[in-house]
């Protein structure tokens, strides 16, 4: 069993979320956050639910889904897909990065014109995939592309 690799940043984010959250901090919500923080790997809502029962938390699976959805909307939790023989399942983990700290840039490979992308959802998803795969992303991610002016006219190659 791999030791949990949650970072101080993740814990900080949970605490901040708890503070800022307009909703009442329920025991269930702090327990969900606590279980997620202990996970080395993203887990499914069902597994999270079972972990909660293990620690004696009286919560329904429906509540777990609701709490996760809200955490996801608040940007605290990242949802990813886990593909296995049993099909595709959503897995959840505490976000370890803050999306706006990164810039995504399209760069034309012909004229080198650059265009910044402001897409927080994309930024979070890319950062999440990188984390899951064990990569650290730089502060600027350049995506090779071809700008409108440099795209060859139809019929040419
Ligand atoms: Zn160009």
pLDDT digits (tens, 9 = 90+) for 58-92: 899 999 999 999 888 877 888 887 777 878 888 89
Residue 3: pLDDT over 50: no
Using CA atoms, how far apart are residues 48 and 43, in angstroms rounded to an integer?
A: 7
Architecture label for domain 100-150: 2-Layer Sandwich (3.30)
- Quote the pLDDT of residue 7: 65
Res. 30: pLDDT tops 80 = yes
Domain residue limits, the chain: 6-94, 100-150
Q: Which fold has domain 6-94?
A: Arc Repressor Mutant, subunit A (1.10.10)
> Ligand 1 centre from 151 Cα, in Å?
7
pLDDT tier, 153 (very low <50, low <70, confident <90, very high otherwise): low
pTM for this model (two decimals) = 0.55
Calculate mean pLDDT across residues 143-151.
90
Task: Report the separation in Å between the CA atom of 155 and the middle of ligand 1, taken as the mean of its atom positions.
Answer: 18
pLDDT of 54 > 90? The answer is yes
Q: Is 147 known to sit in a ligand binding site? A: yes
Question: Is 109 annotated as belonging to a binding site?
Answer: no
Is 41 labelled as part of a ligand binding site?
no
Alpha-carbon gap, residue 81 to 88, rounded angstroms: 6
- Gap from CA of 117 to ligand 1 centroid (Å): 16
36 is in an annotated binding site: no
Quick one: pLDDT at residue 44? 93
User: Ligand 1 centroid vs 153 CA: distance in angstroms?
Assistant: 13
Structural contact between residues 94 and 36, judged by C-beta atoms closer than 8 angstroms: yes
Q: Distance between CA 127 and CA 138 in Å, rounded? A: 10
**How many angstroms separate the Cα of 55 from the Cα of each of 2, 34, 48, 59?**
21, 11, 11, 11
104 C-alpha to ligand 1 centroid (Å): 17
pLDDT at 100 over 60: no
Average pLDDT, the chain: 80
Tell whether the torsion through CA atoms of 55, 57, 58 and 62 is positive or negative: negative
| 47 or 97, higher pLDDT | 47
- Ligand 1: distance of its center to the CA of 13 in Å? 40
Asked whether residue 143 carries a pLDDT value surpassing 80, the answer given is: yes
Residue 99 pLDDT: 45
What gap in Å lies between CA 32 and CA 45, rounded to an integer? 10
């Amino acid at each position: 069993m791999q030791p949990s690799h949650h970072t101080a940043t993740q814990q900080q984010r949970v605490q901040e979320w708890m503070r800022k959250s307009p909703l009442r901090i329920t025991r269930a919500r702090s327990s969900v956050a606590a279980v997620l923080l202990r996970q080395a790997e993203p887990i499914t809502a069902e597994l999270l639910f079972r972990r909660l029962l293990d620690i004696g938390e009286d919560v329904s699976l429906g509540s777990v889904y609701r709490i996760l959805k809200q955490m996801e909307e608040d940007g605290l939790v990242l949802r990813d897909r886990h593909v296995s023989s049993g099909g595709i399942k959503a897995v959840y983990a505490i976000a370890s990065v803050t999306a706006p700290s990164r810039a995504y840039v399209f760069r034309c490979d012909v004229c080198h014109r650059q265009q910044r992308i402001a897409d927080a959802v994309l930024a979070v998803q890319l950062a999440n995939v990188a984390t899951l795969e064990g990569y650290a992303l730089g502060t600027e991610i350049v995506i090779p592309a071809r700008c409108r002016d440099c795209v060859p006219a139809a019929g040419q190659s």
